[in-house]
Structure 1
Amino acid sequence: MPLLLVLLVALVGELLHIEQAPLIVHAEPATTTPLKHIIIILGENHTFDNIFGAYKPLKDQSIDNLLSKGIITSNGRLGPRAWLSRQHLAQNRKGYSLSPQQTGSYRTLPQPNTTYAKGLPRHIPDRRFPADLPNGPYQITRYVPYHNAIVGDPIHRFYQMWQQIDKGKNDLFTWVAQTAGRDNGAIPPLPVYQGAVSMGYYNMSTGDAPDFRFIADHYTISDNYHQSIMGGTGVNHIAIGTADMAFYTDSKGNPARPPAHQIENPNPKPGTNNNYTQDGYSGGSYSECANVRQPGVGPILDYLHSLPYKAFRAGDCAPGSYYLLNNYKPAYTATGQRTTGTPFVVPPQDMPTIANELSAHNISWKYYGQSLNNQHSSAHFCDICDPFQYVTSIMHSRLKDNIQDFTRFQADVANDRLPAVSFIKPDSANDGHAASSALNKFETFSTQIVNEVMHKPALFKQTAIIVTFDEGGGYYDSGYIQPLDFFGDGPRVPLMVISPYARRGYVDHTYYDHTSLLKFIERNWRLHPLSARSFDNLPDPLMSRSNPYQPLNRPAIGDLMQLFDFQHPRHDTPLLP
């Protein structure tokens, strides 16, 4: 449209008081790469080993997974080095400990529990699985078919994850699930007793996750990409949008002390072995991590200070600030109203987001949430997953209009109106979350998006589609974790890239976490880090050939650029099956 006509339309609309979207008459800023569109698809709750543990890469590539370590064999049995994954018992009766005294190992794993799995009796041993599983990872699909496999949900909260990892030994996943606390605020309260739900994995060598295997064979994956925060969905999505942490505030936005029932206390109840005193999504989700006397805080800080590098940066934990560690509702609904109906709501936040930064530089973005406009269906829009619903500067401005139903993404692709940056969140039926969804549901959801974009060759030529997961969901993973600060990093999660510039069959070992998504966007559009304290200030990692997984200059986080070859775009970009 000619500029004169654009201005005339805008003037007429103003005179007639017509409500209309702002008209942009300029081109979007230039990029440092050929990419004009970045699409980020966010699934739920699977570690790298849980999906890619049995993946065999192309012959010229190496990978760090259960199979390469000899923990399992390609047919889903335990391998010659299964001892690397052996799960141990421990004693923790006095106070929270990251590495409690071990008292032996499980002779066999306790039977996995159904937890609250859809279509199954709740909170009982899942009799589809043996009661005497060998001590190590087991293939889920030896007992439950892959298609629409609904299984129990492993415990995956902040203090529990620190214990599961056991300072890098990864050997307390089962014990924590059996002892730590009640899961997801069940009413009436129910003990966890989850058995060995966390030790299950899917086997690509026997046909599981075929679309994700196709992506790995034909495009690019990372085997060293991590959730940013120990713990669950809410805090990791906040980190994806802000590279920072939410904290409790008073009505004026100042740091404040939460109600007592909302403060975490992972110290064991008297007379119990590691059964947390106060914990959970409706029973404690904040910690004042600058205060070593707060329950659970001291052991984590002691561990960080023992590392051979400075993991704990000044300002990470501001004095007097109680940081959110698990899942509470965001301050606002998707339409900008204050959230009501529950006391477990995060107060409005004022930290800058990637959406603010993009908008300030006239770079378009949208957050597409599936079922956002269909709140009465059996599948639910994930409000805690939208990082922008926590932040006043988004939800009290017209920027909130960029939060739209997923059906708008499909229309925007069809009408050549796709924004520069797209965040896509499936609903509870399609996100792959254990117990409420199935991995193949998210696989199908992602495949359909990829193929829709690839059917528009001019669009795909300028696009990178990134498929990843918010967090590991409490599933076992054997990979290295780089401690960055009090909050994380957490376990590895899968990351896949589909683009004409993605290296074919390439497995990248550079150390990444969710901050890398923001660093990638920032590098592509020449943006600055979001704030003086945000995680995107961390340097890019220097990696060595002798140990390509552990940065030499810790703490450090990559920017995803190594996943691409921008000098040699590919012409063999097959559709997904």
Structure 2
Amino acid sequence: MNNKRIGATLLALAAAATFAGCTSPSATKPTLMDVKTVVVIYAENRSFDNLYGHFPGANGLQNVTAASARQLDRNGAALPTLPPVWNGLTQTGLTPAVTQAMTVSLPNAPFAINDPNGFNTPLSTTTRDLWHRFYENQMQIDGGRNDKFAAWADSGGLVMGYYTMNEASLPLWKVAQKYTLADNFFMGAFGGSFLNHQWLICACTPVYPNADKSPAATSISAVEADGVTLKTAPNSPASALGGPPKFVNDGNLTPDFYAVNTMQPAYQPSGNKPAAGGDKAYADPQTPTTLPPQTQTHIGDLLNDAHVSWAWYGGAWGDALAAAQSGQAGVINGKNLTAPNFQPHHQPFNYFADLAPGTPNRAQHLRDGGLDGAEFIKAIDAGTLPQVAFYKPQGNLNEHAGYTDVASGDRHIADLIAHLEKSPQWNNMVVIVTYDENGGFWDHAAPPKADRWGPGSRVPALVISPFAKQGYVDHTQYDTTSILRFVTRRFALPELPGLVVRDKALAANGQKPMGDLTNALDLRSGAAE
């Protein structure tokens, strides 16, 4: 038989197979409906360049030039050097100790914190904290130029620090190599943890009604007419080389009474104690930083309406709650459960009235992740996670500068991934690991311009799943709200109002729409979804 006849015969057999009901390889791909469990792990305070600036194939530090990284002073002139790291890079008594004097005259450029020929500060060392606040973040981004991080910081040159990483030094690096790393993922809101946790669950900014007539009146920020820039105080150093800036009033509230910097929940566990003689399940409402209960629609409401199971697992939640109720000042069985091991402002659902103490909603959905995540791991191993599960590591395992290190949290999350990969639910699971915000660390990528709330600086994000594209760097534009978009699409939920506002703002500014993370997955599209 000649080649032409062989080819004709093969074509005929293929056609016959198709007519017989055989499917093409693409038709055997899973669809979005095959995703049964979504897990979100929310770490703390790292920019993309700070951890993944050298990840192969990613938009990292290799794309940074001397000109694009150069930091400007408060008057717009180029800084001759970076400011010192005010109060030192590490705390006194830590090894290695890096004092302020040792950081004078750093070149005006990014630097490796763990460089053996430099500060030689390993991932296991806790560095000092940095400002990560709503207005300062916008002032540092400077319209997308990212050139005033050192100018509007309380940590001087530390903002330009990053870690030189590889698969041997960072456990999650190996996970990123195996699955998908998103290198164009931005924090949902400008500023810090409090606001970005709210954007994770509701794409909304909390409100404090009539704040000017409340105990929080003194926390209303003094802002310039542009709505972005804090008013500097007369005694503020003119140059970043002279010290951290000072402001007229850098408060927790905007002039129109939105809560943008850390406020405490009205329910325990809270950073504020109960009122004297009051209900121990509540925080004192007369304390200026106690935020009134919120009533906006959050993702839990939409999941409830659609009869989709969900839960928020807070690391050390049960022990912190017991400590608050017992009046033991955050100590149970000799364990410190106040900061740094538990942060009440990292528990966003605890701010909402429909999850108040005593409600069935709270009992069902706010769950104890356990000390060191032990209860969360039990649910993973037993295959009893709800359809949508959020997990917040306790403080000493969340990677936040100032009170913990990178290594401890990274090992913890990598261990969780190992458990998830062995879970009975794994075959139909999508796991998203990301960071709430940049923690004040510089990143070179310009955030897309959208609404008044964000997005802010770029942060790392990993998509981990048997459905994830393998060894893939995803350049799709995402932000924290992309997690909500994914959950919304998968479970056919209504869009939260904040998602609609952000989409319109992006379009009005000529920006691309935010992705919903499906580009990180190898799925068959179409009506079967």
Q: TM-score range by the shorter chain?
A: 0.7 to 0.9
Structure 2 equivalent of residue 174 of structure 1: 150
Deviation, structure 1 residue 324: 0.8
- How far apart in 1 are the matches of 2:203 and 2:196? 9
Structure 1: runs of 5 or more not aligned: 1-30, 58-62, 72-80, 92-101, 178-191, 289-320, 543-549, 569-577
Question: Where in structure 2 are the equivalents of 1:110-259 lying within 5 Å?
Answer: 110-114=83-87, 120=93, 126=99, 130-142=103-115, 143-177=119-153, 192=154, 194-205=155-166, 207-209=168-170, 211-249=171-209, 259=216
Q: 1:528 — aligned with what?
A: 494
- Cα distance in structure 1, aligned partners of 2:103 and 2:442: 19
Q: Distance in 1 between matches of 2:508 and 2:295?
A: 32
What does the per-residue CA deviation read over 1:190-216, in whole Å, with 9 as the maximum and x for residues that have no partner? xx4x2211110011259542x222122
Number of residue pairs the alignment of both structures matches: 444
**Counterpart-to-counterpart distance in 2, 1:42 and 1:238:** 12
1:271-296 per-residue CA deviation (whole Å, 9 max, x = no partner) reads 434521111xxxx21113xxxxxxxx
Query: What is the deviation of 1:517?
Result: 0.6
Q: Is the 8 A contact 1:141 1:202 kept in 2?
A: yes
Match of 1:55 in 2: 55
SS in 2 for 1:405: strand
2:283 corresponds, among 339, 345, 352, to 339
TM-score scaled by structure 2? 0.78
Q: What is the rounded CA distance, in whole Å, between the counterparts of 2:462 and 2:213 in structure 1? A: 40
Partner of 2:27: none
After the TM superposition, which residues 350-429 of structure 1 pair with which residues of structure 2 at under 5 Å, given as runs? Answer: 350-375=295-320, 376=331, 377-378=335-336, 379-395=340-356, 397-401=359-363, 402-407=365-370, 408-429=375-396
Deviation at 1:33, TM superposition (A): 2.7
Amino acid at match of 2:355: I
Structure 1 pair 226–387 and aligned structure 2 pair: CA distance change class (3 A)? same
Give the conservation status (yes or no) of the 8 Å contact 2:448–2:455: yes
**In 2, distance between residues paired with 1:129 and 1:207?**
29
Query: What is the CA-CA distance between 1:119 and the residue it aligns to?
Result: 6.0
Does 2:265 correspond to 1:286?
A: no
The alignment's C-alpha RMSD in Å is 2.8
Within a 5 Å distance, the mapping from 1:497-536 to structure 2 comes to 497-530=463-496, 533-536=497-500
Q: In the alignment, what sits opposite 2:79?
A: 106
Give the Cα separation in 1 of the matches to 2:81 and 2:351: 44
Q: Give the counterpart letter for 2:137 in structure 1.
A: M
CA distance in structure 1 between the aligned counterparts of 2:428 and 2:167, rounded to whole angstroms: 35
Which protein shows a greater Rg?
Answer: 2
User: Does the 8 Å CA contact 2:74/2:152 hold for their aligned counterparts?
Assistant: no
Letter in 2 for 1:435: G
Superposition deviation, residue 345 in structure 1? 1.2
Note if contact 1:388-1:395 (Cα within 8 Å) is conserved in structure 2: no
Distance 1:206-1:349 versus aligned 2 partners, 3 A rule? closer
Given the alignment of the two structures, is residue 64 of structure 1 paired with residue 68 of structure 2, yes or no? no
| Paired AA for residue 454 in structure 1 | E
C-alpha distance in 2, partners of 1:125/1:261?
36
Could you say if the C-alpha distance between residues 119 and 432 of structure 1 is closer, same or farther in structure 2, counting changes exceeding 3 Å? farther
Residue 411 of structure 1, CA deviation: 2.1
Distance in 1 (CA, whole Å) between partners of 2:459 and 2:185 is: 6
1:499 and 1:114 mapped to 2: Cα distance? 42
Asked whether 1:275 is paired with 2:236, we answer: no
Answer yes or no: is the 8 Å Cα contact 1:369–1:404 preserved in 2: yes
The alpha-carbon distance between structure 1 residues 501 and 537, as it changes in their structure 2 partners (threshold 3 A), is: farther
CA contact (8 A) 1:32 1:525 kept: no
The whole-number CA distance in structure 1 between the counterparts of 2:221 and 2:182 is 34
Distance 1:131 1:116 in 2: 11
Displacement after TM superposition at 1:111 (Å): 2.7
| Contact residue 53 and residue 66 of structure 1 kept, 8 A | yes
- Deviations, residues 349-393 of structure 1 (Å, cap 9, x unaligned): 100111111112111111111111233233522211111111101
Structure 2: gaps of 5 or more residues? 1-30, 223-229, 239-244, 271-279, 321-330
Distance in 2 of aligned mates of 1:464 and 1:359: 20
1:501-531 deviation line (CA, Å, top 9, x unaligned): 111111111111111111100101111112x
Equivalent in the alignment of 1:563: 520
Q: Secondary structure at the match of 1:523?
A: helix
Q: How far does residue 553 in structure 1 lie from its aligned partner after superposition? A: 5.0
State, as a whole percentage, how many aligned pairs show the same letter.
Answer: 28
CA contact (8 A) 1:370 1:427 kept: yes
Match of 1:450 among 411, 417, 426: 417
The structure with more helix, counted as a fraction of residues: 2
Matched position secondary structure for 1:133: coil
Q: Tell me what 1:309 maps to.
A: none
* Contact 1:168 1:481 survives alignment (8 Å): yes
- 1:364 maps to amino acid: S
Once the two structures are superposed, residues 471-530 of structure 1 have per-residue CA deviations (whole angstroms, 9 ceiling, x without a partner) of: 001100000211211111100010001100111111111111111111100101111112
* Mapped contact 1:257–1:322 kept (Cα < 8 A): no
Distance in 2 (alpha carbons) for counterparts of 1:541 and 1:259: 30
Offset of 1:174 from its aligned partner? 0.9
TM-score by length of 1: 0.72
Q: How many Å separate the matches in 1 of 2:205 and 2:489?
A: 22
* Structure 1 runs, 4 residues or longer, greater than 3 Å off: 113-121, 127-130, 205-208, 254-259, 536-542, 550-553
Alignment CA distance shift 1:116-1:86 (3 Å): closer
Q: Distance in 2 between matches of 1:537 and 1:268?
A: 31
